[in-house]
Chain A
Amino acid sequence: MKKKRILSLSLVMLLGLSMILAACGSSEGGNSSSGKGSSILVFGRGGDSTSLDPSRVTEGETFKVTVNLFETLLNFGEEDTTIQPGLAEKWDTSDDGLTYTFHLREGVKFHDGTDFNADAVVKNFDRWANGDADKFPYYSSMFGGFKGDEEHVIDSVTAEDEKTVVIKLKRPQAPFLKNIAMSMFAIASPTAFEQGDDQFERNPVGTGPFKFVEWKANDTITIEKFDDYWQKGLPKLDKVVFKSIPDNSARLNALIKGEIDLADGINPADGEKIESNDDLQLIERPSMNVGYLGLTVTRPPFDKKEVRQALNYAIDKETIINSFFEGRANVAKNPMPPSISGYNDDIEAYEYNPEKAKELLAEAGLADGFEMELWAMPVPRPYMPDGKKVAEVIQSNLADIGVKAKIVSYEWATYLDKASKGEADAFMLGWTGDNGDADNFLYVLLDEDNIGSNNYTYFKNDEMHDLFIKAQTEVDEEKRNEYYRQAQEIIHDEAPWVPIAHSTPLLAAKKGLTGFKPHPTGSDMLMNVEVK
């Protein structure tokens, strides 16, 4: 008898303990305690930034934040990569394409009170030009090096007067204005960065609509409204918190629960669920990317054009897009997306045709097929939400034409390293454009100059190379586009890639969020956003 009573007593104690734990929870009740009169946006994303000085990194999670802290001389359009006024209200280009004059906006101040003027702009350019490739990696890739280098495009940057900056080039650079608009070339407060680069990247000071508040590593970055922002009435939000939630499904869970207001990197598989949820909205980011299967042309049998073409015929892109992009992508036929000027729409895509593929293999003397390694991306990227699963489809497609593919995957760092050394037979990869220029896709990804870096296929073609070099200095837009159209024909015929998809990266937000315009580069301006 007594034993029983004590047993139930202990049970009651256990129950009591769990009640206390639960009580700790419910004391605050829900998470409606959000407001306190100010409007806060919580933006959930997959990873943390590495730095808040945009000129020092190449990685997108940093730009997502800095595009709201800093501004550039020129801006991209709200949802495209057209050139729009930024900190420079107007600009003139000389006829020879060598001199650019920027007329700066009046009445702009940095967050620390420093005046924004021509002098500040010059100091920023001097800082970059005197750096090295380790410090300012993007500067060297966009402007050909640093002060004193042969390839450095910029000859001089001078302040004509308080509000006029003149940039002189050594030779014309067709995408120069687009480069200037990239978020890594944001104008920072000289007072702030002169105190030391390392301390600046933790305490960024720009002219943007928001100013930096706090950074909790791997967790949150908080920015708040800059009261003296030059555009009156903006930003509409008081505060933005960027929160890292690495797991895709956990991020969506947090959105459903209302812990975050906006989530990046939504899985295509979840698209439908979000659309059918009355409290949420699905947001599509304009596509400026390509996901592809690269064929390393130095590795037999991919040194044979017929084999590369055969793979193009063998892979069922439609199925891949329907199953693993949930239809939220366009079939790719060129190495760059259609939104980019110079896109060749006359090219006829390789259709899905296993029979034709087998014929081509037979022509190449491989009627019985062959064995190969198929490298699958280990990480999700906007251009390829699930590389391993796409690889599984490709594997079964290839099996249909008698090609035995073994799926191999390395951890991401190893993967890029080995692929860039040409160790993969066929590898999946992709690219998101930086500035919406054809050069940023075709030359960077397929020219012989970039073998060992971003040309992982080791593809080489003299005719194409000439076209690229001519296009880089050609100021006439129409002529330039013609060069790129020709280059795409060569690429199509030589088939170093199987272009797979131009995906539409997805975001999701709660219904009450308005004024959000996702940008194709992945760095979203938040000053017009409102949360209800």
Chain B
Amino acid sequence: MSELTPKVDGIAEAKIDKTTGPWLDAWRNFRKSKIAVVGMAIVLFFILVAILAPWLAPEGINDQSHADRLQPPSSAHWLGTDDFGRDILSRIIYGARISLSVGFLSVVLSVIVGSMLGIVAGYYGRWVDTIISRVFDIMLAFPSILLAIAIVAVLGPSLQNALIAIAIINVPNFGRLIRSKVLSIKEEEYISAAKAIGMKDARILFSHILPNSMAPVIVQGTLAVATAILEAAALGFLGLGAEPPMPEWGKMLADSKDYLQSAPWTMIFPGLSIMLTVLGFNLMGDGLRDALDPKMKS
């Protein structure tokens, strides 16, 4: 029976949310979940690594030393060296910057574009809604990786274009989410009241509807960072991402897959880094979901 209690608490708190500090409550809820805290710790760890990269990394990202190529892990090179004789640990540390920024920025971009489209569609309804919703349908019916590949092929392969492609394929997810949120909020009394007193559309949107849609967006966004990092790695693996000598993790995997048997460390560590970071975001996203909106599923 004990498992029932937290649920009841959650509902109770959610009800008070509107009057007391909702974010504080959410934080209290979040803290209760050990797994979520672990996730956040992982994410913070990689963020720190990314920020402190120049101080943490023993070497630069492109210090080629062909005499030391493919050295196994040792005290000089904790994670070994790659086929240019570069220190893998240093490259992974700097790589955190790339993966994290691709993850964050692409999600921010798709949130911005998706929210705008979703709000417009949900708030104005009618043909605007129909058109935008159909466009989302079309985009969702594409196999997303093929769409990303095609976009990168059009724009030309580079990290920035990979980021844009990932942002584009995620737009409909956020667009739909916001649209449904807007639709449900629109019916609430305070919005009708605002309208009745002659509040401008833009003001209603920005002062009422947007803040009220934040919680699911944050949850969805955290999880989307995880997927975006994986998608960037897949594009990097296909040679459609970062330009050399950038140490993007997916590209590091692609560059080292020929050494899987002769020098497995070149391949195992970048893969583990991807997995850990993504895991961190997933754990954190899960925790956020439970904390921010106990009723929300998937």
Asked if A and B touch directly (CB within 8 angstroms), the answer is: yes
* Stretch binding the partner chain, chosen from A88-96, A194-202, A390-398, A506-514: A390-398
What are 16 inter-chain pairs, A to B, with CB distance below 8 A? Answer: A249-B257, A249-B260, A269-B258, A323-B84, A324-B83, A378-B157, A378-B239, A389-B83, A392-B64, A392-B84, A392-B244, A393-B64, A406-B243, A408-B243, A411-B240, A414-B156
Contact A389 B239, beta carbon cutoff 8 Å: no
* Cα separation A323 to B260 with both chains bound (whole Å): 17
Cross-chain pair count, CB within 8 angstroms: 63
* Cα separation A457 to B243 with both chains bound (whole Å): 23
Contact B258 A267, beta carbon cutoff 8 Å: yes
* Cα separation A408 to B153 with both chains bound (whole Å): 13
Known: A389-B83, A389-B255, A407-B243. A322 touches B261 (CB 8 A): no
Residue of B at shortest CB range from A410? B156
* Cα separation A359 to B243 with both chains bound (whole Å): 30
* Cα separation A247 to B84 with both chains bound (whole Å): 22
Known: A269-B259, A269-B262. A323 touches B69 (CB 8 A): yes
* Cα separation A407 to B69 with both chains bound (whole Å): 22
Contact A396 B244, beta carbon cutoff 8 Å: no
* Cα separation A388 to B262 with both chains bound (whole Å): 21
B-contacting residues of A (Cβ < 8 Å)? Answer: 247-249, 267, 269-270, 272-273, 319, 322-324, 376, 378, 388-389, 391-393, 395-396, 406-411, 414
Contact B83 A409, beta carbon cutoff 8 Å: no
Contact A273 B64, beta carbon cutoff 8 Å: no
Q: Max chain A CB contacts within 10 Å: which of B84, B158, B243?
A: B243
Min C-beta distance of B58 to chain A, whole Å: 19
Min C-beta distance of B234 to chain A, whole Å: 14
Known: A273-B261, A395-B245. A388 touches B62 (CB 8 A): no
Contact A395 B257, beta carbon cutoff 8 Å: no
Contact B262 A270, beta carbon cutoff 8 Å: yes
Contact A273 B262, beta carbon cutoff 8 Å: yes
Give which listed residue, A323, A378, A411, contacts B83 with CB less than 8 A.
A323
On chain B, the residues within 8 Å of A388 by CB distance are 239, 244, 255
Known: A249-B260, A269-B258, A273-B261. A409 touches B64 (CB 8 A): no
A-contacting residues of B (Cβ < 8 Å)? Answer: 62, 64, 66, 69, 83-84, 152-153, 156-158, 239-240, 243-245, 255, 257-262
On chain A, the residues within 8 Å of B240 by CB distance are 411
On chain B, the residues within 8 Å of A411 by CB distance are 152-153, 157, 239-240
Contact A410 B157, beta carbon cutoff 8 Å: yes
- Starting from the known contacts A248-B258, A406-B243, A411-B240, 16 additional A-B residue pairs (CB-CB under 8 Å) come to A269-B258, A322-B66, A323-B84, A388-B239, A388-B244, A389-B83, A389-B244, A392-B64, A392-B84, A395-B245, A396-B62, A396-B64, A407-B244, A409-B157, A411-B152, A411-B157
Known: A395-B245, A408-B243. A249 touches B84 (CB 8 A): no
Residue of A at shortest CB range from B259? A269
On chain A, the residues within 8 Å of B69 by CB distance are 323
On chain A, the residues within 8 Å of B64 by CB distance are 392-393, 396
* Cα separation A411 to B157 with both chains bound (whole Å): 7
On chain A, the residues within 8 Å of B66 by CB distance are 319, 322-323
Residue of A at shortest CB range from B262? A273
Q: By DSSP majority rule, is chain A's interface helix, strand, loop, or mixed?
A: helix
Give which listed residue, B153, B158, B244, B259, contacts A395 with CB less than 8 A.
B244
On chain A, the residues within 8 Å of B245 by CB distance are 392, 395, 407
On chain A, the residues within 8 Å of B261 by CB distance are 249, 273
The 8 A-B pairs of least Cβ separation, nearest first, read A392-B244, A267-B258, A407-B244, A269-B258, A407-B243, A392-B245, A323-B66, A396-B64
Contact A392 B262, beta carbon cutoff 8 Å: no
* Cα separation A267 to B261 with both chains bound (whole Å): 13
Residue of A at shortest CB range from B86? A392
* Cα separation A273 to B66 with both chains bound (whole Å): 20
On chain B, the residues within 8 Å of A270 by CB distance are 258, 262
Known: A389-B84, A393-B64. A249 touches B243 (CB 8 A): no
Min C-beta distance of B79 to chain A, whole Å: 19
Contact B62 A392, beta carbon cutoff 8 Å: yes
* Cα separation A324 to B64 with both chains bound (whole Å): 13
* Cα separation A269 to B257 with both chains bound (whole Å): 11
Min C-beta distance of B270 to chain A, whole Å: 16
* Cα separation A272 to B244 with both chains bound (whole Å): 26
Min C-beta distance of B196 to chain A, whole Å: 56
On chain B, the residues within 8 Å of A378 by CB distance are 157, 239
On chain A, the residues within 8 Å of B157 by CB distance are 378, 409-411
* Cα separation A213 to B245 with both chains bound (whole Å): 47
Known: A388-B239, A391-B244, A392-B62. A414 touches B153 (CB 8 A): yes
On chain A, the residues within 8 Å of B244 by CB distance are 376, 388-389, 391-392, 395, 407
Give which listed residue, B62, B239, B260, contacts A409 with CB less than 8 A.
B239
On chain A, the residues within 8 Å of B62 by CB distance are 392, 396
Min C-beta distance of B259 to chain A, whole Å: 6
Min C-beta distance of A275 to chain B, whole Å: 12
* Cα separation A136 to B286 with both chains bound (whole Å): 60
Contact A409 B243, beta carbon cutoff 8 Å: yes
* Cα separation A388 to B243 with both chains bound (whole Å): 9
On chain B, the residues within 8 Å of A393 by CB distance are 64, 84
Residue of B at shortest CB range from A319? B66
On chain A, the residues within 8 Å of B83 by CB distance are 269, 323-324, 389
On chain A, the residues within 8 Å of B259 by CB distance are 269
